[in-house]
Structure formats: structure tokens, C-alpha cells
């Protein structure tokens, strides 16, 4: 393996290109029309165009990517996350073209992609799954009998699903028939497959996932990530380890994740998602057969470069993770920085990045895909960058994240930076009392005060004016929706809020 085509864009493409270079591999970027001058294009050894801006005409077109790999003389393809990463047909097509797919075997992707099939395999491997069905339900009669057996409330889920689409909560038998119909129709629209099945609804769980890594000899786990801070299935903050996971739970959940991976013949990096109930019981939900957005928090507490390990494993080398017990060291936290306006229903915002100041200093990592001058469009998802910190303890990690968020300046598009600052300062978040419904209860964290919004608009204008004047003073400034402390204080004194 010498030359890797990176079939992705943004921060993850850049992350993969850097890992290739550290592994002594050449990296080939691909780009759509909108990404001609994107950072990942300039970081690569070679970059090839693959079509218009719309993903359906570029990053999602298997033939375009295989053509580019052929033209570049690449011998491997890394899919990143999103786009084609979990399409078994893509992994298969890459292999059929005589190239190495940097990921699991197509059969493992396929097995985990079908949720009832995955549940059957997990049961056979003694991995705890949520009580429920292993086969899709078609008719309301058998569904009622099953729901009675499971006990209400039950959840109707899409068999081809994942990510929350086609899910319906049912509290009473009278609601079941309608829920089956709406879930099936949603599933057909989203996945082209109307099959649905039933599970018991787990109330107020945490979302905890285990990182696994498998080479041809061994399968190991690298502990958990706590991903409960999410809104409408979009994760916003992740951390490792989890306050709710004791060494015993870690050992059991880790063993379950390793068994899950082995049950499908897994290879490379993957993640098993679990629901962790308040009483310590946990249930396998699904396996993500790709590198995930939040992988850096695991890297920081386990001292492993997961993308480099993916590349080594794909090239037939053993992983460089020691055998025996691995333990997390310290605490890592990640904030997803998105071009969305939390005070406006998290609608995506677009525009030109007029100004960017990236935080730094000890224990701070910036996995970004944007630079000042870049245009943020609606063609791609709203993730601009990930701000990741490490510190010896959770309170110190939170304080360090607040410090880093204070340093961060993004002007030109609205971002969720202000939301992150409010969340990290919140006593309930700091106490660790979080579950997947946390933000549903705490809508107060989503919308800033009106006066704050006004202050911010003024702060952004001030930042831009300063930038233009090429002032050598540190800009006293702006974060889309939040102004820094000094500025807010000035605004308050001047009667602006």
C-alpha cells in the first residue's frame, strides 16, 4: 500500500491525509466544484475533480471515485465517515477494482446495517440487546401480542434504520397500528425498505459507545465515549471516559463490544453503540462500521492514533496497540463546532468565513476543515471543526474547553459556539448528570438572551472593523452568536444590554 485515495472532504479528509503522511503514504484528494480550493485539496499530494457541488453528483458517485483512484494510481481508498463509508456496495466495488478498502469487510458492513440481522447475531454471541423482536413485524395482530410480552412503552424501529429515522414510541396498544404504518412509510422513504420491528423503550438512558480495533490476529477495545449530549440525533459534545462507567461496566461493555465485532468478522476501527440505563444495565444498539466524528477523545485518553491504525491494518500490518489491559488516562472532551444558529432552531447558516482565530495552548486540539476566506454552503453538513481538549480530570477538561472557546473566533457565519459556552458553564452538565434527553429538558441552553444576540452582532462588526484596520491589538470580539467576556462587560457599561 503506497497511495491512498481519500473519498471525503472537510476536516476528516484533512485528518486522514495527515495520518497517511505520518505513515509514509501518499494521499490523493478528490473534490467537487465547491471544494476546488478547500484545505484538504491543498494538503494532499494530488487532487482530482469528481464533479459538481451536489454530493449526489460527486462524493456519492462510486464510479467517479473509482475512476479517480485509477487515474491517480491509488492502491487503497479511505471512505472517512458519512457519504459512502457504510455502503457495503462501495466497499465491495473498491475491492472488485483490485484496491484495498480502508475499513471492515463488506459482509461485516452488511450484517450490521440490517438491524434485525445484527440483533440475531448479537444474541448468538451473548451480547446483551434491548428486549424485543429479532424479525420484522408485518401485521398488527402479532405486533400487539409481542408488545404485550415486551411491555409498554415500546419503540417501533426501522430494520434498515439507524440514526433515529423511522422510529415511533408507543405507550398504549391503541397507538400501535398507526405507529407501525407511519414508521414503515418513513423507513421506505428513508431507506427504500419499509421493514420495522419492536423493542422495549429504555427510559432516560445514556448513550455510551465502545471503540474497537481489530487486526488479523486480535480484537481489542479502547474504552467508552459518552455521547448523551445530542439534539435530534446530532451529537454536540462527546467525552471519554464517561462519569457513569465504572471499571466493571467498562470491562463488561468492552467484552460485549469485542464479541460483537468478532461475531461479524470485523477488521479495522469500529464502534458499538450502547444504551446505558441508570441502574447500570446496558444494551447493544448498533455498530458503526467506520471511523467516527468523535474518535479524537478516545485517541487522547488511550494515546492511540486510530486513523494510522486503520491504515496499518488495511495494509496487512498488526496494530500497534499493546496486548493486556488498556486504561484511559485523564479526561478528553470534544465540542462539535457547526455553522448553525442555536437561537434560530439550529438552522444551518451560510456565508464566508471572514475571520478565524483557532485556539491553541497545552491540551488543545483543533480538527478543522475551514480557513478564513472559505465559503460555507448548504451542499454539505454543517460541521466546521471539532475542538478537543485533554486535561487530567473532568472539571479541568471543562475549564480548559471554556478557555479554548473564549479564544476561538469565527466571524461571517453563525455558529453554535455560544451554546457550547452556556452548556459547559451549566452546573447540571458539570455534575455529569446527563442522559439522551438532557437538551430536551434544557431548551434554555439553546437560545441566548435577546440582548446577548444584539451584543453579538455589534461584536462581530467590531471584530471585522478591527481586522480591516489591521490593528495589532488582540481583537476584542466575536463568535457568531457570542461576544467575549470583556466585550460583553463593555456593552453592559455602555447600556447596550
Query: How does DSSP classify residue 246?
Result: -
Question: How many Å apart are CA 239 and CA 226, to the nearest integer?
Answer: 5
Q: Which three cell numbers stand for residue 244?
A: 457513569
Binds ligand MV4 by CB under 6 A, chosen from 8, 32, 116, 230: 230
Shortest separation between residue 446's beta carbon and ligand MV4, angstroms:
16
Binding status of residue 207 toward ligand MV4 by CB under 6 A = yes
- Kindly name the residue from 119, 290, 312, 422 that is annotated as catalytic: 290
For position 200 contacting ligand MV4 by CB under 6 A, the verdict is yes
**By CB under 6 A, what part of segment 256-295 binds ligand MV4?**
275, 285-286
CB of 175 to ligand MV4, least distance (A): 16
Query: Which three cell numbers mark 192?
Result: 427504500
Evaluate whether 46 touches 26 at the Cβ level (below 8 Å). Answer: yes
CB contact at 8 A, 94 and 66: yes
Residues 6+ away with beta carbon under 8 Å from 36: 49
Candidates 1, 4, 28, 201: give the one binding ligand MV4 (CB under 6 A). 201
Pick out residues in 403-442 that bind ligand MV4 (CB under 6 A): 436
> Does the protein bind ligand MV4 through residue 231 (CB under 6 A)?
no
Residue closer to ligand MV4 by CB (options 230, 479) is: 230
Q: Is 217 exposed, middle or buried (0-12, 13-18, 19+ CB in 10 A)?
A: exposed
**Residue range at the interface with ligand MV4 (CB under 6 A); choices 135-143, 183-191, 201-209, 422-430:** 201-209
- For ligand MV4, which is the closer residue by CB, 70 or 440? 440
Closest CA to 294 of 12, 10, 8: 12
Residue closer to ligand MV4 by CB (options 8, 228) is: 228
**Near ligand MV4 by CB under 6 A: residue from 202, 229, 236, 300:** 202
For residue 184, the minimal CB distance to ligand MV4 (Å) is 17
| Pairing between β-strand 154-158 and β-strand 168-170 as defined by DSSP bridges | antiparallel
Touching ligand MV4, residues 126-185 (CB under 6 A)? 130, 155, 162-164
Find the shortest distance in angstroms from Cβ 306 to ligand MV4.
21
Binding residues for ligand MV4, total number by CB under 6 A? 16
DSSP state of 266: -
187 binds ligand MV4 (CB under 6 A): no
Give the residue among 225, 295, 261 at the shortest CA–CA distance from 104: 261
Number of C-beta neighbours around residue 139 at 10 A? 9
Nearer to ligand MV4, 313 or 423 (CB): 423
Beta carbon of residue 140, minimum distance to ligand MV4 (angstroms, whole number): 20
Reading the block at residue 190, the C-alpha cell is 428513508
Residue 337: beta bridge partners?
Answer: 385
255-to-248, 276, 288, 448 alpha-carbon distances in Å:
11, 15, 17, 43
CA dist list (Å): 253 to 25, 52, 61, 319: 35, 44, 37, 21
Task: Return the DSSP state at 436.
Answer: T
Q: Is 290 a catalytic residue?
A: yes
Q: Is 236 one of the binding residues for ligand MV4 (CB under 6 A)?
A: no
Residues that bind ligand MV4 (CB under 6 A): 130, 155, 162-164, 199-202, 207, 230, 233, 275, 285-286, 436
- Residues designated catalytic: 290
Amino acid at each position: 500500500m503506497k497511495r491512498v485515495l481519500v473519498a471525503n472532504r472537510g476536516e476528516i479528509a484533512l485528518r486522514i491525509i495527515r495520518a497517511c503522511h505520518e505513515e509514509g503514504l501518499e494521499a490523493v484528494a478528490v473534490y467537487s466544484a465547491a471544494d476546488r480550493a478547500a484545505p484538504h485539496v491543498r494538503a494532499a499530494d494530488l487532487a482530482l475533480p469528481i464533479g459538481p457541488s451536489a454530493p449526489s453528483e460527486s462524493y456519492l458517485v462510486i464510479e467517479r471515485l473509482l475512476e479517480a483512484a485509477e487515474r491517480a494510481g491509488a492502491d487503497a481508498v479511505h471512505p472517512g465517515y458519512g457519504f459512502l463509508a457504510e455502503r457495503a456496495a462501495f466497499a465491495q466495488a473498491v475491492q472488485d477494482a483490485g484496491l484495498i478498502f480502508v475499513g471492515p469487510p463488506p459482509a461485516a458492513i452488511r450484517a450490521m446495517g440490517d438491524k434485525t440481522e445484527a440483533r440475531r447475531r448479537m444474541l448468538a454471541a451473548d451480547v446483551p440487546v434491548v428486549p424485543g423482536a429479532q424479525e420484522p413485524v408485518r401485521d398488527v395482530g402479532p405486533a400487539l401480542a409481542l408488545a404485550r410480552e415486551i411491555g409498554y412503552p415500546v419503540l417501533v424501529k426501522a430494520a434498515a434504520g439507524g440514526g433515529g429515522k423511522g422510529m415511533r414510541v408507543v405507550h398504549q396498544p391503541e397507538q400501535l397500528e398507526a405507529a407501525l404504518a407511519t414508521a414503515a412509510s418513513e423507513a421506505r422513504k428513508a431507506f427504500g425498505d419499509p421493514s420495522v420491528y419492536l423493542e422495549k423503550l429504555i427510559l432516560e438512558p445514556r448513550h455510551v459507545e465502545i471503540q474497537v480495533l481489530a487486526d488479523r490476529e486480535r480484537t481489542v477495545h479502547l474504552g467508552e465515549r459518552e455521547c448523551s449530549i445530542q439534539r435530534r440525533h446530532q451529537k454536540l459534545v462527546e467525552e471519554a471516559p464517561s462519569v457513569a462507567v465504572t471499571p466493571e461496566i467498562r470491562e463488561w461493555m468492552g467484552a460485549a463490544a469485542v464479541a460483537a465485532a468478532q461475531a461479524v468478522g470485523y477488521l479495522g476501527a469500529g464502534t458499538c453503540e450502547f444504551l446505558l440505563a441508570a441502574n447500570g444495565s446496558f444494551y447493544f444498539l448498533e455498530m458503526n462500521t467506520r471511523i467516527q466524528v468523535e474518535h479524537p477523545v478516545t485517541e487522547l485518553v488511550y494515546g492511540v492514533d486510530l486513523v494510522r491504525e486503520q491504515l496499518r491494518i488495511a495494509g496487512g500490518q498488526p496494530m500497534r496497540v499493546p496486548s493486556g489491559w488498556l486504561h484511559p488516562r485523564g479526561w478528553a472532551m470534544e465540542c462539535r463546532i457547526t455553522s448553525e444558529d442555536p437561537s434560530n432552531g439550529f438552522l444551518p447558516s451560510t456565508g464566508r468565513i471572514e475571520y478565524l482565530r483557532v485556539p491553541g495552548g497545552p491540551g488543545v486540539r483543533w480538527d478543522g476543515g475551514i480557513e478564513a476566506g472559505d465559503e460555507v454552503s448548504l451542499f454539505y453538513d454543517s460541521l466546521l471543526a471539532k475542538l478537543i481538549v485533554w486535561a487530567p480530570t473532568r472539571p479541568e477538561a471543562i475549564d480548559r474547553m471554556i478557555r479554548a472557546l473564549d479564544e476561538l473566533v469565527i466571524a461571517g457565519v453563525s455558529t453554535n459556539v455560544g451554546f457550547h459556552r452556556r452548556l459547559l458553564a451549566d452546573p447540571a452538565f458539570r455534575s455529569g448528570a446527563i442522559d439522551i434527553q438532557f437538551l430536551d429538558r434544557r431548551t434554555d441552553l439553546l437560545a441566548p438572551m435577546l440582548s446577548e444576540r444584539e451584543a453579538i452582532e455589534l461584536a462581530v462588526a467590531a471584530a471585522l472593523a478591527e481586522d480591516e484596520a489591521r490593528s495589532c491589538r488582540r481583537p476584542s470580539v466575536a463568535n457568531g452568536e457570542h461576544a467575549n467576556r470583556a466585550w460583553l462587560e463593555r456593552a453592559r457599561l455602555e447600556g447596550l444590554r
